[in-house]
Amino acid sequence: MKHACLLLLLLPALGRAQPPPLQLAVDAAVKETCAECTTPALKPDQLGVTVVDLRGPTPVRASYRGGEKFYPASVIKLFFLAYAHRLMEDGKLADTPELRRGMRDMIVDSYNEATSYVVDAVTGTTSGPELPAAELAVWHEKRGVVTRYFQGLGYPDVNAQRKPWGEGPYGREKQDLTANPPARNFLTTNDTARLLEEIATGHCVTPARSAQMLELMARDPFTPTKDPDDQATGFTGPALSPGMKLWSKAGWVSWARHDAALIELPGGGRVIIVVFTDGREHANNRVIIPAVVRRILACLPQR
């Protein structure tokens, strides 16, 4: 890996026009990880990666397939969290202990039941039996409020219409996804990294609310857990070395495995790395995400 980083540093000196150093690091990390993960083969179109380097006075960004839409699994919960804080800030949603409990369990433990409650609270919809067509149309319009909010902020590729499910959906949830496609949520790594950047820099709703959101994402990647898919130790965490800190939100279903991570380096600088993977053959692969992150961290350009 050190040799690969050295080559990236030497490329500009070879007299050729080259992409920016951070982009070179991202591209190399993807290429080397695909070369490493061969059983089963990790194809280049099964990855999306976005990096935001926050170490300098202005952010520096790079991505690989950063504008491609992926099913986000539980990463979508960050968008429900941010919208809930927007409504609370505007006085349109009561800040109750039960809402706080639901938001905590949605992010800290990634509980789908908690997410269902939060989605109901912010959209004014509930799950339940099928509805007549006219009532379903009203229900669908209300459920789309989170998607419209983020699109209005310039997030072009966010669909936050659906609740995450373990089993299901049933009733009006199934009825709506059949009548009003797309049937699934989607995100890009670019839009996910942008939201995480706004939270990290205190620009999501307010600085105080951004700090509250970030607090729920704090992970300890250095304490072993019994769960191999724990958000702290089963995704980005293995790529970190002592002295680094982690805030993250992972997503995992039978055909996708993702992580959106804010990493603080030992010197205090921070870097956002969002990695999405696609494919049932890779959903239980705990090597891919840390492999990409480890390579990017090792080759971060000096700032």
Q: Which tokens in the block code for residue 68? A: 């491609």
Model confidence at 11: pLDDT above 60: no
Strand, coil or helix: 52: strand
The residue type found at 262 is L
What does 20-35 look like in DSSP terms, one character per residue?
-HHHHHHHHHHHHHHH
Model confidence at 7: pLDDT above 80: no
Model confidence at 215: pLDDT above 90: yes
- Mean pLDDT, range 258-265, rounded to an integer: 98
**pLDDT band at 265; cut points 50, 70, 90:** very high
Q: Which tokens in the block code for residue 287? A: 């090597």
Domains of the chain: 2-70+188-298 (3.40.710), 74-179 (no CATH)
Q: What percent of the chain has pLDDT over 90?
A: 92
CA angle, corner 262, sides to 55 and 209, nearest 5? Answer: 100
Is residue 8 a contact partner of residue 24, using CB atoms and an 8 Å limit?
yes
Q: Estimate the crossing angle of helix 2-10 against helix 21-36, to 10 degrees.
A: 140
> Distance between CA 229 and CA 246 in Å, rounded?
16
- Cβ-in-10-Å burial (0-12, 13-18, 19+) of 12 comes to middle
Q: Which tokens in the block code for residue 88? A: 């609370």
Segment 39-59, tens digit of pLDDT:
999 999 999 999 999 999 999
Q: What percent of the chain has pLDDT over 70?
A: 95
- The pLDDT of residue 179 is 97
**pLDDT band at 166; cut points 50, 70, 90:** confident
- The pLDDT of residue 241 is 97
Radius of gyration of the chain (CA): 20
Model confidence at 292: pLDDT above 70: yes
pTM as predicted: 0.95
Mean of per-residue pLDDT scores for the chain: 95
**pLDDT band at 147; cut points 50, 70, 90:** very high
- The pLDDT of residue 136 is 98
